[in-house]
Amino acid sequence: MNTEVLKQELYEYISALKVVDCHEHIIDEKEAVESKVDFSILVNQYNRCDFSSAGMKPAELEEFYHPDTDLERKWNIFEKWYPYVEDTSYMKATKLVLQHDFGVEELTKDNYRQISAQLQARRQPGYYKKIFEDCGIRVVLNDDLIPYSQRFPENTDLLKRVVRAPDVPDGVQMVNEGFFYNGITCLADLRERVKWYIGTLKKLDNKGIKLMFGMPYESVDDIEAAAELQRLLRSQTEQGSTRLFWYTVDLVLDEAAKEGLPVSMHTGYWEDFRGYSPEGYIPLFFRHPDVRFDLFHLGYPYVKPSLMLAKNFANVRVDLCWTYIISQQFAYDSLCQIVDFLPRNKVHGFGGDFRQAERVYGHRMMMNETMSAALVAKVSDGTLSLEKAKLWARSMLVDNPAEFYNV
């Protein structure tokens, strides 16, 4: 079988899979339906990062993305900055959505008004179901970014919740007001609060816990934590403590292990990405061998350390969510290495990582392209047979995340 025929067969096989989407930030459909939208939502979120990198100032970014900004003014801003970012993977995802949903290759002065009107008109109750059917997505693991202390997120048939607990600000900046700490007077109170919360998540069938630290893990014992808590309760000025925060993280992970809840972790790319290096969490993995960790984004740019952690720790997996739109080349190179480096059950293959559901289709198409090309390369070099390549694709996109997150 020649390479082109092989690539087409693998592409069609992967495209037909009803995948588990391991990570989105999709807003509630009711909120989406009630929102005022225009063409700028198609270049929001991560495209915003590219605009900023290209030199667009914060005030101009705010003006461009504000829903009440005049549409012509938005177009003028976009037209000015688009040439600098039009070739990025982020923008490729947008172009694929434009082709699929509107039959055009890119946004232009002649179509931005019509596309804006169509985006608004199709936001009707139930439109999420059609979007994700078009994307070939069976179920979405969704971190909707609603602070965990405000409510217990509910599951739907499509969106299964993964809850952030605890957030860094709650532990570091708000020890006298944050959810886990409000009203507690001793460590026993804190333990009971954490136990109750994680147990409630389990009863409500939330599918996991999301952690995002931005700083290396620190081990804190009972004596130090108790002293730190009392010091903060006496203080009239200090409102937080990283030491008490890490103690709370350990309590959360102890309860997650007891309840069988997996833990997804942001690693790598974001703000000062040095703080999200996965190597900083090695002591955490040793301390909690019964917790199942999912390292998001392959730790980019710390890809090799992330893969090494999944190879070295039985309780650690890696997740390619977000990777294909960060850079298709990076995702391709990583998949080629993964196949001959990791056990097949240690990898989760897709997550769109978007707030706006309209954006997910483009990312799914880029994943289909990238994964099929990488698996063709591994068949061509003799590492895999065609059937093994298909098995790898199904494992990464369906079986592994379904088992890990119990969906």
The one-letter amino acid at 80: K
pLDDT of residue 166: 67
**Angle between helices 89-102 and 360-380 in degrees, nearest 10:** 110
Tokens of 113: 């008004």
The 8-class DSSP code of residue 214 comes to S
What band does 146 get if pLDDT is binned at 50, 70 and 90?
low
The predicted model gives 223-231 an average pLDDT of 91
Q: How far apart are CA 397 and CA 14, in angstroms?
A: 9
Domains 36-121 and 127-404 belong to one CATH topology: no
Q: Give the bridge partners for 359, in sequence order.
A: none
What band does 179 get if pLDDT is binned at 50, 70 and 90?
low
Fold of 36-121: uronate isomerase, domain 2, chain A (1.10.2020)
pLDDT of residue 153: 66
- Tell me the pLDDT tens digit for each residue of 327-370: 999 999 999 999 999 999 999 999 999 999 999 999 999 999 99
Please provide residue 151's backbone torsions phi and psi, each rounded to the nearest 5 degrees.
-165, 170
Is the pLDDT at 75 greater than 50? The verdict is: yes
Is the pLDDT at 383 greater than 80? The verdict is: yes
Domain parsing of the chain, residue ranges? 36-121, 127-404
Rounded to the nearest 10 degrees, how much is the dihedral formed by the CA atoms of 199, 202, 207, 211? 0
CA Rg value for the chain: 22
Q: How far apart are CA 100 and CA 359, in angstroms?
A: 11
Please provide residue 228's backbone torsions phi and psi, each rounded to the nearest 5 degrees.
-65, -40
* Helix ranges (DSSP H) in 235-280: 242-259
The predicted model gives 100-119 an average pLDDT of 97
CB-side neighbour CA atoms (13 Å) of 383: 16
What band does 237 get if pLDDT is binned at 50, 70 and 90?
low
Q: Are the beta carbons of 387 and 9 closer than 8 angstroms?
A: no
Contacts of residue 215, Cβ cutoff 8 Å, sequence gap at least 6 = 168, 242, 275, 280
What band does 251 get if pLDDT is binned at 50, 70 and 90?
very high
Contacts of residue 255, Cβ cutoff 8 Å, sequence gap at least 6 = 194, 195, 198, 199
pLDDT of residue 255: 96
Q: What percent of the chain has pLDDT over 70?
A: 93
Is the pLDDT at 168 greater than 60? The verdict is: no
Contacts of residue 18, Cβ cutoff 8 Å, sequence gap at least 6 = 136, 137, 138, 398
The lowest-confidence range among 47-51, 176-180, 324-328 is: 176-180
Q: Are the beta carbons of 311 and 342 closer than 8 angstroms?
A: yes
pLDDT of residue 239: 64
pLDDT of residue 244: 86
Is the pLDDT at 238 greater than 80? The verdict is: no
Is the pLDDT at 108 greater than 60? The verdict is: yes
For residues 285 and 237, the model is more confident at 285
Decide: helix, strand or coil at residue 20.
strand
CATH number of 127-404: 3.20.20.140
Is the pLDDT at 171 greater than 50? The verdict is: no
Q: How far apart are CA 277 and CA 299, in angstroms?
A: 7
Counting Cβ atoms within 10 Å, is residue 214 exposed (0-12), middle (13-18) or buried (19+)? middle
Q: Are the beta carbons of 65 and 79 closer than 8 angstroms?
A: no
Q: Are the beta carbons of 345 and 367 closer than 8 angstroms?
A: no
Choose among 162, 201, 155, 126: nearest CA to 24: 162
Tokens of 302: 């710390």
Q: How far apart are CA 305 and CA 326, in angstroms?
A: 18
pLDDT of residue 173: 45
Please provide residue 184's backbone torsions phi and psi, each rounded to the nearest 5 degrees.
-80, 150
The predicted model gives 44-69 an average pLDDT of 97
Average pLDDT, the chain: 92
Q: Are the beta carbons of 161 and 264 closer than 8 angstroms?
A: no
**Angle between helices 3-16 and 386-394 in degrees, nearest 10:** 30
Q: Are the beta carbons of 54 and 84 closer than 8 angstroms?
A: yes
Angle at 98 between CA 71 and CA 396, to 5 degrees: 130
Q: Which helix (H) or strand (E) holds 7?
A: helix 3-16
The predicted model gives 247-255 an average pLDDT of 94
